[in-house]
Every structure is written in C-alpha cells, then in structure tokens.
Homo-oligomer: A and B are copies of this chain.
Amino acid sequence: MQNSSVEVVAPVPSSLQAARTPAVLLDRQRVKNNAERMLEHARSHGVLLRPHMKTLKSIDVARMALDRRHGGIAVSTLNEAAYFARHGIQDIQLAVCQTPSKLPSIAEVSSRCTNLSFFIDSLEMAEALNGFAKATGAQLNVWIEVDSGGHRTGVMPDDPCLLSMATALGPQVRLCGVATHAGQSYANQSAEALAQIAETERKEVVRTAERLRAAGFSVPGVSAGSTPSVAHSRSAEGLTEWRPGVYLAGDLFQAALGVLRVEDIAVSVLATVISHQRSRGEIIIDAGSLALSLDRSTYGLGGDDAGYGLVTDLLGRPVYGNLYVNAVYQEHGKLCGISEALFSALPVGSRVRILPNHGCMTAAMYNHYLVTEGGEEIVACWPRTNGWS
C-alpha cells in the first residue's frame, strides 16, 4: 500500500515568510497551555486524563498532552493506533465500535503495545470477540460503549442486553470498562446547558458501570468526555478518566462554546493573497475548501457567520476585525467587503493566517505542522498521520 506522495520535497522553511502556502501552523506554546489547563482541570476534579489524539494525530503533541499519572491516549482510527504504538504509547483506546473483520488488524497492532482497547455496543459483537479470542488466542481489551444522549453508537444504560454482552465476552476478552461520549454537547452553547450535559454524561455512564458491578462484573474503567462537556464539568465522581481531544488545538467553534479563548487557538492556516478584485471589493487567497475544510460548525451560533474561518495577520492576531473567508473553492478562498484600506494592508503576495472553524477537519488536510512559538520563526516541523490503511 503506497503512502501519500508529496512531490515538492523541500527543507523546513525557517520563517512564515519563507513557507509555501497553504500550510497548517501549530503554536507550540498554545498547545502546551491548552494541555496543561486541561490536566489541571482533571487533577482538580480527581480524575485522570486520557487525551484524544484524533484532532492533531501527532506523537509530539501526544507527549505534551499525556497525563503522567495515566499514560494513555484515545484514538479514532486503527491507523492512529498503529502510529502511536510504534512511537511507544502503551495504553491506546480506539474509541470507535469495531466489527469482526477488523479483529485481525486489531490483534496485529495489539502486539505492539501493552493495552490496545476498543469499543463494542452489541451482543453479536461480544460473541464474535469471544469466538475470535478462542480461535486465535488473542488477548482483546474492550469497553462497552454507552449512549449518554449523543445518540450515535452505544447501548443505553438500561439496555436489557448489557449484562448478556458482558457475559458473552467470555474469559479471554478483558472488559476494560464502560465509555461514553456526550456528542450532544456540540449542539449547545450556554455554559449551564453544557454543565448539565456533562452531568448527564457522567451519571449515565456511572449508572451503567454500577449495573454491571451489581451483577458481579469487574468494571475498572469509567471513561467519559467530549471537550465541551469536560470543560464545563463540575464533577467527575465515579469516573476514572476524561477523554477530550479538540481542546489541544482549539478552534472558533470551541471558542464559541466557551471552552477556550480565540487567543488560545493553536492551529491556523497560513495563506497568501493571490488576487485583488477591487470592483467587487474582494480578496482571493490560496486557501480554499481543501486547505481550510468545508466545516461550517460555527454557522448559526448566534454571532457573526464566521464563514470558513477568521482572517488574522501573519502572527495570528485578529487585527482585521470580523474579516472571514466568506466562500471557498477547491484552492481559492474569497474575502468579501474589502475596503480600500484593507486592499492596501493586504497586497497581492501578502500573507494571512486563518483560524479554523473546526481544528479536527482542517488539520486533517495536512501531513505535517509548521510549528511556531508566537513569532514568525518556524521552530520545528511535526509530522501527523492520516488515513485508515
């Protein structure tokens, strides 16, 4: 299977002015601050942190984000699991329900770390795992996924199948615990609503663990978390770990949800002005739907329509007010309502940085980060992994 081939192989540029555009930037200090703020939040609530790597998919970031009391991470694909296992992470939770045909690959990656675990949400899958473990001798580690209101995958806490699922796993499959993700937190903005969602998420997954324990099962782990619900949590009672992810990068959507400030957003896209259309009051940049993603999650949140991202200066400062990328094409982004002063400030060839709506989607379009630390200097280049196989 061949890897993505980037053909213009260049040395790492020394500064933002020398970098090819579009490029994705990561501010190291901001990632560190975001990581430490969340670690402190977890410590203060007496819970461990299992940072989810699905946003930045980088071992360099994982090393900054790890909770040394825990050591584990969550991932969203088997490819990420293999990448982080190769880089020495021992406790990797693949936080997505798996199917029988994926078990051989899972067993293969499992052999490269101490504890690769994954989610299941059905009796059929519990039975299939038992069969696979018996047939191959593989040690499988699973979490029963619980639906705490996100209504995606997972069993309801009072699902009649819950206990039979745990039984069906058999002696060779280890039940790591129960896990949930309050996906509904992404549809709410008020701090109070998010705090209530966090409380529901916590109570539902703890209740599920207690049902299993009452029936005699060992349930060592109780895992919960989305970035918005964790950030607004007032209690972690009964939980063993929080599992947020996008807080490390931050984005306009998380800022709108009150998770962090716009000035904490660590990920941005460096772009070049490629055309002035004075008669229409428009500037065109070389970052379009591939460079920024089509994510519109900030749309309809009550504030300005942030389009496809907020335009800032070369240092990531929002000096142009509410200047957004209003439209995107595959390799073009359009900024509208440009004044004469702004045309002068942003001549053809000048550079801007775009703060994205959704860090996970934007970062996914790149295979490395140009790492900055507040200034124009590029201090490192961090690879990230992408794709599935």
Contact = CB atoms under 8 A, between A and B. Distances in A.
Interface of A: 1-12, 17, 19-23, 54, 76-80, 82-83, 86, 96-102, 105, 109, 121-122, 124-125, 128, 151-154, 156, 183, 272-277, 279-280, 282, 284, 286, 289-291, 293-296, 329-332, 334, 347-349, 360-361, 364-368, 381, 383-389
Contacts of A277: 151, 153
A89 to B, nearest CB: 12
A387 B361 contact: no
A50 to B, nearest CB: 17
B381 A1 contact: yes
A132 to B, nearest CB: 12
A99 B274 contact: yes
Contact of A4 (B6, B151, B294, B330): B6
A275 B294 CA distance: 27
Given A54-B330, A96-B286, A329-B183, A101 B10 contact: no
A212 B103 CA distance: 65
Given A23-B389, A98-B274, A275-B97, A7 B79 contact: yes
Secondary structure at the A interface, as helix, strand, loop or mixed, is: loop
Given A3-B5, A294-B294, 15 more contacts: A1-B368, A2-B381, A3-B6, A7-B83, A8-B82, A8-B389, A22-B388, A23-B389, A54-B330, A97-B284, A98-B274, A151-B282, A153-B332, A183-B329, A289-B295
A7 B86 contact: yes
A352 B198 CA distance: 35
Nearest to A76: B331
A330 B8 CA distance: 29
Given A78-B20, A389-B10, A274 B96 contact: yes
Nearest to A54: B330
Q: Which of A20, A76, A151 has the most CB of B within 10 A?
A: A20
Contacts of A365: 364, 387
A118 B360 CA distance: 32
B6 A389 contact: yes
Given A151-B277, A153-B274, A383 B5 contact: yes
B360 A330 contact: yes
Given A86-B7, A105-B20, A275-B153, A349 B99 contact: yes
Contacts of A86: 7
A97 B285 CA distance: 10
